[in-house]
């Protein structure tokens, strides 16, 4: 077995220490965590997350996660809190304070104000006997056996534990609020994520006169003419009720030519694929992309509730719209 380099050994040890910290977190999950979720869910105002240094940076990230998943949240720099910023806390809010030692002066200075206005305080510390933990309505332990820093100075495993516990709170609240993809899209209208969550099939499909829709009993000779003229790589066969009965693609044509079959005067339905993959116009384009990738196809028939074809959506148009 090849000997691991010192750099890889240090990286491996770091990851193992942080994993151990998360495993310890899992074992400590209890009713206090449930109480914290319930306090946050019942919050009629906003969630204020306060901390200093590395804890403050983690608090900022958790605030962003909460806000983007349906729980309004703000980060309060504990060092600025006693210089006027405490005014953002109202009686409808909940405060989450972060301090591994539970003795960070700037954070402790906030306690009196929080208690004076009577808002719940959730403390995340690594010391259950600390001043902050004892003053809190609910205490969530982020204790770890050791930090990954060989000097024992830089928060590493404890920062990871704090971040993970914050994500756990956010995901529990997301479920309790029944937060949906549509809700998520409202908060993320920009960038590729926004496009993935907002662009629908009706925004990218081909419809109207360009659609290659033909009767199911049309001779293949004529159906191939439509296939070539419409240039979408597919023809859609419909029955007398104008409902989809099958599809025929350029790939199917290549296979017929390889088999050297005589097919030009036979009806389209004899060679069309029955029960093709379809999608509704109000579905997200991202869903169509997933279906195409899963089934190794490049287009889908867009159908209404009566299974009548109203459009064609091609993978090219979805990717061109920035959905990937």
Average pLDDT over residues 89-112: 93
Q: What is the pLDDT of residue 212?
A: 95
Q: What is the pLDDT of residue 281?
A: 92
Confidence band, pLDDT 50/70/90 cuts, at residue 3 = confident
Say yes or no to pLDDT of 302 above 80.
yes
Q: What is the pLDDT of residue 121?
A: 96
Q: Specify the pTM.
A: 0.62
Nearest to 174 by CA among 9, 15, 40: 40
The DSSP call for residue 261 is -
Say yes or no to pLDDT of 182 above 90.
no
Q: How far apart are CA 177 and CA 251, in angstroms?
A: 46
Q: How far apart are CA 109 and CA 87, in angstroms?
A: 14
Q: What is the pLDDT of residue 67?
A: 85
Give the range among 97-106, 181-190, 252-261, 272-281 with minimum mean pLDDT: 181-190
Give the range among 82-86, 94-98, 161-165 with minimum mean pLDDT: 82-86
Q: What is the pLDDT of residue 193?
A: 54
DSSP string, 47-58: EEEEE-HHHHHH
Name all domains of the chain by residue range, CATH numbers in brackets: 6-179 (3.40.50.10490), 201-320 (3.10.580.10)
Q: What is the pLDDT of residue 88?
A: 84
153-166 tens-digit pLDDT: 688 999 999 999 99
Average pLDDT over residues 116-124: 94
- pLDDT above 90: percentage of residues in the chain: 59
Q: What is the pLDDT of residue 303?
A: 95
Q: What is the pLDDT of residue 192?
A: 52
Say yes or no to pLDDT of 185 above 90.
no
Q: Are strands 121-125 and 138-141 parallel, antiparallel or unpaired?
A: parallel
Pick the most confident of 122-126, 273-277, 281-285: 122-126
Helix axes 31-42, 157-176, angle to 10 degrees: 60
CA distances from 241 to 119, 222, 245 (A): 64, 21, 10
Average pLDDT over residues 61-86: 83
Contacts of 70 (CB under 8 A, 6+ apart): 173, 174, 177, 179, 183
The better pLDDT of the pair 198, 68 is held by: 68
Q: How far apart are CA 94 and CA 39, in angstroms?
A: 8
DSSP string, 84-97: TGGGG--TT-EEEE
Q: What is the pLDDT of residue 260?
A: 67
Structure tokens at 227: 């296939």
Average pLDDT over residues 291-317: 91
Strands laid side by side in the 244-249 sheet: 213-215, 234-238, 244-249
Q: What is the pLDDT of residue 197?
A: 64
Confidence band, pLDDT 50/70/90 cuts, at residue 131 = very high
Strands laid side by side in the 278-279 sheet: 278-279, 299-303, 309-314
Q: What is the pLDDT of residue 199?
A: 81
């Amino acid at each position: 077995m090849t000997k691991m380099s010192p750099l890889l050994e240090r990286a491996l040890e770091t990851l193992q220490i942080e994993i151990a910290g998360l495993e310890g977190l899992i074992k400590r999950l209890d009713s206090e965590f449930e109480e914290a979720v319930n306090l946050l869910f019942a919050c009629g105002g906003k969630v204020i997350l306060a901390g200093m240094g590395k804890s403050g940076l983690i608090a900022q990230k958790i605030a962003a996660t909460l806000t983007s998943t349906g729980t309004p949240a703000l980060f309060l720099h504990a060092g600025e809190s006693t210089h006027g910023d405490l005014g953002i806390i109202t009686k409808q809010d909940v405060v989450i304070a972060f301090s591994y030692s539970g003795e960070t002066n700037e954070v402790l200075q906030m306690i009196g104000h929080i208690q004076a206005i009577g808002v719940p305080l959730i403390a995340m510390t690594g010391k259950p006997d600390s001043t902050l933990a004892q003053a809190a309505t609910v205490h969530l332990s982020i204790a770890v056996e050791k930090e990954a820093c060989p000097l024992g100075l830089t928060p590493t495993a404890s920062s990871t534990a704090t971040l993970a516990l914050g994500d756990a709170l956010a995901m529990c609240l997301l479920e309790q609020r029944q937060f949906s993809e549509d809700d998520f899209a409202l908060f993320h209208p920009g960038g590729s994520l926004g496009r993935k969550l907002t662009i629908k099939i009706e925004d990218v499909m081909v419809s109207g006169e360009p659609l290659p829709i033909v009767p199911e009993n049309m001779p293949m000779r004529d159906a191939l003419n439509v296939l070539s003229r419409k240039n979408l790589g597919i023809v859609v066969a419909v029955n007398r009720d104008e409902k989809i009965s099958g599809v025929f693609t350029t790939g199917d044509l290549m296979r017929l030519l390889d088999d050297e079959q005589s097919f030009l005067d036979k009806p389209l339905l004899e060679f069309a694929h029955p029960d093709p993959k379809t999608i509704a116009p109000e579905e997200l384009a991202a869903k169509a992309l997933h279906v195409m990738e899963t089934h190794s196809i490049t287009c889908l028939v867009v159908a209404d509730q009566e299974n009548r074809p109203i459009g064609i959506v091609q993978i090219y148009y979805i990717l061109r719209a920035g959905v990937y």
